[in-house]
Amino acid sequence: MRRHFGSLAGLVQHFAVPVPTGAAAFAELDLDTLRDVAGGLGNEFDSSGYPTDEGGSYGDFGGDFGSGELNGELNVGGDTMSQSGGDMGAPDGFRYDIATGDPYDADAAIEAMLPPAEYDETPIEIDATDVEPRELSAEEQFAIQVDLLQHHQDLASPALLNQGQIGDCFVVSTLNTIAHTPEGMAYLNSLVTPQGDGAYHVTLFGADGQPTTVLVAMDPNGPYGSGASGDPTLAILERAIGTMHGPFDSMGAYDSIANGGRPYEAMNDLGLFAQPLEASAALGYTPDGVDVLVVGTRPDAPGLADFGLVGSHAYSVVGSLSDPSTGEMMLILQNPWGGEHPSPIPASQVDSLFGYASHGMLPSGAGTGGTSGG
């Protein structure tokens, strides 16, 4: 059995040795009292603190005691009190093994060591006398919907890739747009097969539409790392597209896509049926697991900065919403750079700001169907 004594006085009182009480009880014990305690213990314990039939000296007993109050150890069988600290120190007390007594209450000891609760369990009363609940306005609901389409990320959200230092926005935007739905992400995952040691076989499609296998080696410590940052599968696919169109040298894996391109080309590489369209074809689009849309800005169109756009850049189309104030259809976009995304684009401004749209359809069986607006 183990028994815990809250102080040295508790230990001495257990052996019927009278001691003073209070916070100074430990300090007031003289050497004669300590020797009386040691003598009583000597017939019951060996020097390690465990019961023995033969009895034993308790000269080493202090090494097993540490008082949190004095931060020292007691050489009970000796003449002095050491200040070197014990290895069983406890706040305001110590513990030792004893063959008799009540069972040691571990829960009570733990509770005693915990600081007092700062608050009780009584619920805090909130005065709601002057609080008037209200419904969100149509404009507020619109702003929330835009924010969710552009920014919301949790464990169930689509994977994203953030464009790196190379100019392959058309590839990154295409990958992000496909991955925006669970069906699209499942399709992209089906194109990648791990080979071990950072190597992957990636299934892409040539100009003739026939599948081809590209070997990709991802070295996170290399000079180019994984190109863009973010979801590993999307980063592997980005590198595979660059490898298929350029040298197989890892130093130049992104050279062929570093100077830009059209999103429908990247869609074709990934096995989608893709084609260029007028930018206005993106209006009314909602991601559905089959159709994907990416738009590209004109190089120097007036008004780009008013909506947070940059010239000659590709953007993922993540939805279309009706502006509650004007009733006009608004195009909602994501920037492959991550972070800040463009403001909603009014339908009346789409053709002047964007030079094209790229539309792609996942292969049959990869999604569940749907429509894109025109």
Average pLDDT estimate for 128-143: 90
Radius of gyration from C-alpha coordinates of the chain? 37
Average pLDDT estimate for 9-35: 49
Q: Provide DSSP, 167-225.
A: B-HHHHHHHHHHTTSHHHHHHHHHTEEEEETTEEEEEEE-TTS-EEEEEEE--TTSSST
Higher-scoring residue by pLDDT: 279, 15: 279
Average pLDDT estimate for 59-63: 40
Average pLDDT estimate for 168-179: 91
Quickly state the pLDDT bin for 364 (edges 50, 70, 90).
Answer: confident
Task: Tell me the percentage of the chain whose pLDDT exceeds 70.
Answer: 59
Query: Contact 333/271 with Cβ under 8 angstroms?
Result: no
Residue 60 corresponds to which tokens in the numbers above?
A: 């080493």
Q: What confidence tens digit (pLDDT) does each residue in 220-276 have? A: 554 444 455 567 888 899 889 888 887 644 445 566 676 678 899 999 999 999 999
According to DSSP, residue 253 is labeled T
Average pLDDT estimate for 73-99: 41
pLDDT at 153 over 50: yes
What pLDDT is recorded for position 374?
Answer: 30
Provide the b/e sequence for 74-107 (b: ≥16 CB within 10 Å): bbbbbeebeeeebeebbeebbbbebeeeeeeeee
Average pLDDT estimate for 279-299: 92
Segment (H or E) for 358: strand 354-361
Q: Which of 93-107, 157-171, 341-355 shows the lowest mean pLDDT across its residues? A: 93-107
Mean pLDDT of the chain, nearest integer: 73
pLDDT at 196 over 80: yes
Higher-scoring residue by pLDDT: 288, 115: 288
Cβ-proximal residues to 17 (8 Å cutoff; 6+ apart), any chain: 33, 36, 37, 40
In the block, tokens 């007594």 appear at 101
Q: Which of 88-102, 240-254, 332-346 shows the lowest mean pLDDT across its residues? A: 88-102
Amino acid sitting at position 151: H
What pLDDT is recorded for position 110?
Answer: 78
The bridge status of strand 273-277 relative to strand 291-297 is unpaired
Other CB atoms within 10 A of residue 240 CB: 24
What pLDDT is recorded for position 266?
Answer: 94
Higher-scoring residue by pLDDT: 232, 114: 232
Q: CB-based burial of residue 321 (10 Å sphere; 0-12 exposed, 13-18 middle, 19+ buried)?
A: middle
Three-state DSSP class for residue 29: coil
pLDDT at 52 over 50: no
What pLDDT is recorded for position 103?
Answer: 58
Quickly state the pLDDT bin for 84 (edges 50, 70, 90).
Answer: very low
What pLDDT is recorded for position 6?
Answer: 46
What pLDDT is recorded for position 167?
Answer: 77
Cβ-proximal residues to 310 (8 Å cutoff; 6+ apart), any chain: 297, 304
What pLDDT is recorded for position 259?
Answer: 66
pLDDT at 15 over 80: no
Higher-scoring residue by pLDDT: 245, 104: 245
**Among 79-93, 161-175, 306-320, the range of highest mean pLDDT:** 306-320
**Among 63-77, 93-107, 206-220, the range of highest mean pLDDT:** 206-220
Quickly state the pLDDT bin for 99 (edges 50, 70, 90).
Answer: very low
Higher-scoring residue by pLDDT: 363, 101: 363
Q: Which of 85-94, 132-141, 168-177, 200-209 shows the lowest mean pLDDT across its residues? A: 85-94
How far is residue 316's CA from residue 313's CA, in Å, rounded to a whole number?
A: 10
What pLDDT is recorded for position 43?
Answer: 45
Task: Tell me the percentage of the chain whose pLDDT exceeds 90.
Answer: 36
Higher-scoring residue by pLDDT: 246, 329: 329
Average pLDDT estimate for 198-217: 91
pLDDT at 9 over 80: no
